[in-house]
Amino acid sequence: MAEQSFSTPAVNQDKPFTTVLVDYDEDLFTPPEWVGEELARHGIQWIVGQHRTPEAALEAARSGDVVMVQSVRPLLTRAVIEQLERCRCIVRLGIGYDSVDVAAATERGIPVCNIPTYCVDDVADHALALLMDAVRHIARQDRWIRAGRWDRTGARPSRRLKGCTLGLVAFGRIARALAQRVSGFGLTLLTYDPYVDAETATRYGVQKVELDELLQRADLISVHCPLTEETRHLLSTREFNLMKEGVFIVNTSRGPIIDEAALVEALRSGKVWGAGLDVFEHEPLPLDSPLRDFDNVTFTPHVGANSEESTADLYRLGCQIAIDVYNGVWPQSVVNPEVEATTPYPFRRQQT
């Protein structure tokens, strides 16, 4: 749809329209300088801060017509959202939006947006890298050699990928991108996703099955579902018991989807031969986490989305949402679309 501009934005004229970024992770996702320049070009004030408690986030967000958060810290809680008098849109700068109380925003008539097309290729690349490492134990062998240990048993147990079955838990954009990447590996591909039809999966060379069947058949499992009440501990003791002996697990989605205590037991028993984890139930991974005891598990610190290109995409798409809201245009990627009927703000649909 083509962008529609309006000469008079549908906003209060007594205060400048303001977009507030209440928190971001400075190690990877510092907003580029051009963001403020681009928003200013449209008449939008840009305020950036790092507020690590809901109370601090509230003080910052009070002035925002659009309130953004990049980090996954649970800052935009019900108590915060209920006090946002100016806010007409909340943006989670990322794919997952479990850190925002969407129900509270919906009750207030505030649309919540995410950035669903951001970092798809990057996370798919990262999932593939962790999968290859889990199977070939690259990181473990590197650690041993650096420690002066020349021991080729570190390469075992391994698995030839050709002929294996890869199970994709959920089949959204990232899982589809991963399926395309491994299409030449000679794998059988399965997916479990109650929200995707079998015809869509088939177009990617993937068979849609129920979760139990996936767990029973898969040699390799890669997790790609969002964190919801339905998916929290989706893979727990019962599910690990259904898996094949010697399965490999990768998670680049959200840590709490896997019950880490159950994963630890599966690693101890040998049910799981290797794992690649970019996300954890508690981040940073606690120093006393028993997961640290397994040298057949490779960790990365929730960086699957990282690339220069993905960061630029993230803020470019976030800027467009702020510009649309400023112009009274219903923004893209609203995760609570039912709020369009109840929001007090005069949004218009873009012209097609």
Q: Give 258's strand partners.
A: 235
Supply the residues annotated as catalytic: 254, 283, 302
Q: Which helix (H) or strand (E) holds 177?
A: helix 173-181
From the DSSP assignment, how many helices (H) and strands (E) are in the chain?
12, 12
Residues contacting residue 263 through CB under 8 Å, at least 6 positions apart: 235, 240, 249, 272, 275, 291
As a whole number of angstroms, the distance between CA 20 and CA 29 comes to: 15
As a whole number of angstroms, the distance between CA 321 and CA 313 comes to: 12
Is the CA virtual torsion 186, 191, 195, 199 positive or negative? positive
Phi–psi pair at 27, nearest 5 degrees: -70, -30
Strands 188-192 and 165-169: parallel
